[in-house]
């Protein structure tokens, strides 16, 4: 089922993002995680490409597992920053043969020492290429409420995003953010630019020291004072940091749903316990808005 069609049947979607195991890792661990997430009945689950430039060697495998073993619609990530047109064509053929309907088209993160693509510089070029090949994929894209870190200013960022939508993106998932006002201001800029595709708010709970150190450092997300105090107080107290991070994420989500956001995309870092706790916290609200 196309994710774009889901927006026609629900006011607010609920989805998760997971990452595949390393190529040599056993499949049982991720299968248990996928099963636990499937029990929470998300509208779909997105599967990232493997980290560190190893590509999408297991993305399709996990996407098929979601659909065939657990009945959950997958969204397969596809990056182009280090790929040729031939590489992308091969990936598209594999995705199509696997029966995957939904693709998240991304430029991808720059990787030190990796040769840049001779064919693709930006995600809108990838979207146009996919559309031009004639495949019947539903294509999602990414957006940045605080602005893409490589954009000169918010105007350039929105113009680049508009090109991506005009190329054929049907909905957008946002990068993580911790100040909802940034998302609301971003939504206003989208409206002014005439960008009307549904946007899901990306939420990543800060529940572990490793998340604080690695993810926030990589994304450059702004850390509000409220979160800064939380991290400072509970950084070396794992149980309390877990509880505080879940509480903060829940508060963000309640505010976003109350404001009419079209969806929440929860970056769960393969932690089904965190996904379950937050889902339970907001399930009645989701049920209410989707009646």
- Please state at what angle helix 85-97 crosses helix 123-133, rounded to 10 degrees: 60
Compute the distance between CA of residue 255 and CA of residue 257 in angstroms, rounded to an integer.
6
Dihedral angle computed from the Cα positions of residues 93, 48, 167 and 4, in that order, rounded to the nearest 10 degrees: 90
Q: What is the C-alpha to C-alpha distance for residues 84 and 259, in angstroms, rounded to an integer?
A: 41
Task: Identify the CA nearest to 3 among candidates 166, 129, 173.
Answer: 173
8 A C-beta contact, residue 137 and residue 103: yes
Task: Count how many residues are written for the chain.
Answer: 291
- Say if CB 253 and CB 280 are below 8 A apart: no
DSSP alpha helices (H): ranges in 147-237? 154-167, 180-192, 209-210, 216-219, 225-234
Q: Is 188 a catalytic residue?
A: no
Exactly one of 17, 73, 125, 146 is catalytic; name it: 17
Alpha-carbon distance of 214 to 275, in angstroms, equals 20
CB within 8 A of 217, min separation 6: which ones? none
- Euclidean distance between CA atoms 138 and 75, whole angstroms: 9
Residue 253's closest CA among 186, 216, 204?
204
State the catalytic residues.
Answer: 17
């Amino acid at each position: 089922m196309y994710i774009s069609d889901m927006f026609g049947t629900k006011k607010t979607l609920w989805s998760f993002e997971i990452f595949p195991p390393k190529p040599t890792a056993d499949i049982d661990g991720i299968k248990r995680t996928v099963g636990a997430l499937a029990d929470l009945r998300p509208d779909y689950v997105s599967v990232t490409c493997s980290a560190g430039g190893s590509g999408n060697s297991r993305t399709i495998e996990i996407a098929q597992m979601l659909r065939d073993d657990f009945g959950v619609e997958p969204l397969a990530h596809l990056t182009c920053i280090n790929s040729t047109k031939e590489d992308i064509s091969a990936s598209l053929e594999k995705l199509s043969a696997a029966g995957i309907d939904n693709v998240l088209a991304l430029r991808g993160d720059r990787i030190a020492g990796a040769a840049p693509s001779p064919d693709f510089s930006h995600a809108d070029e990838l979207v146009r290429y996919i559309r031009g090949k004639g495949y019947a994929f539903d294509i999602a894209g990414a957006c940045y409420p605080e602005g893409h870190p490589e954009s000169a200013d918010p105007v350039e960022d929105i113009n680049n995003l508009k090109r991506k939508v005009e190329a054929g993106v049907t909905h957008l998932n946002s990068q993580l953010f911790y100040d909802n006002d940034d998302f609301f201001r971003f939504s206003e800029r989208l409206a002014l630019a005439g960008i009307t595709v549904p946007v899901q708010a990306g939420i990543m709970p800060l529940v572990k020291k490793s998340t604080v150190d690695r993810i926030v450092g990589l994304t450059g997300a702004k850390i509000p004072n409220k979160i800064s105090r939380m991290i400072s107080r509970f950084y070396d107290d794992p149980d309390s940091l877990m509880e505080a991070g879940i509480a903060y994420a829940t508060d963000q989500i309640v505010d976003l749903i109350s404001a009419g956001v079209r969806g929440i995309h929860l970056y769960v870092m393969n932690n089904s316990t965190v996904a379950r706790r937050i889902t339970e916290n907001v399930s009645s609200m989701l049920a209410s808005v989707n009646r």
